[in-house]
Amino acid sequence: MHPPLRPRPSFGVDANTSGYTSQLYVSLSWRTDVDTGGVLWPDHAVFVGFGLGPAYNTGHVYSSAADRLSLGSNLLIHSAIEIGYRLTPDWSLSVYFEHSSNAGFALHNAGLDNLGARAGRQF
């Protein structure tokens, strides 16, 4: 079992290969196990987590194009939640939802939302 809610640094990139908005983020993340009765071996566990930190994006601050969001700023607040399964003490798989926005600090605030899966390795 891992210590509950111990903050750890995390970073990521959401790369859009179609020429739309990409972002880079740095966060503090907290994670806690919710089921430590692993079926295959004791180190398996279901966990939940959340993160918060700054993000930089390549999107438009203001856009009148129908296929572009007006983000209000290239510097946004990045928040995330995840639920996952620890395969070994070091490796995990999770479903991940993230939201980045300027939190209402600018006139335009369309925000960016992403849902995905990820593999993680803990050091």
CB 75, CB 54: distance < 8 Å: yes
Task: State residue 86's pLDDT score.
Answer: 85
Q: Is the pLDDT at 76 greater than 90, yes or no?
A: yes
pLDDT per residue as tens digits for the range 15-58: 988 888 999 999 999 988 887 665 555 666 888 999 999 999 99
CA dist 95 to 35, 46, 64, 102, 118, Å? 16, 12, 33, 24, 7
8-15+22-121, CATH topology level: Porin (2.40.160)
Task: State residue 20's pLDDT score.
Answer: 86
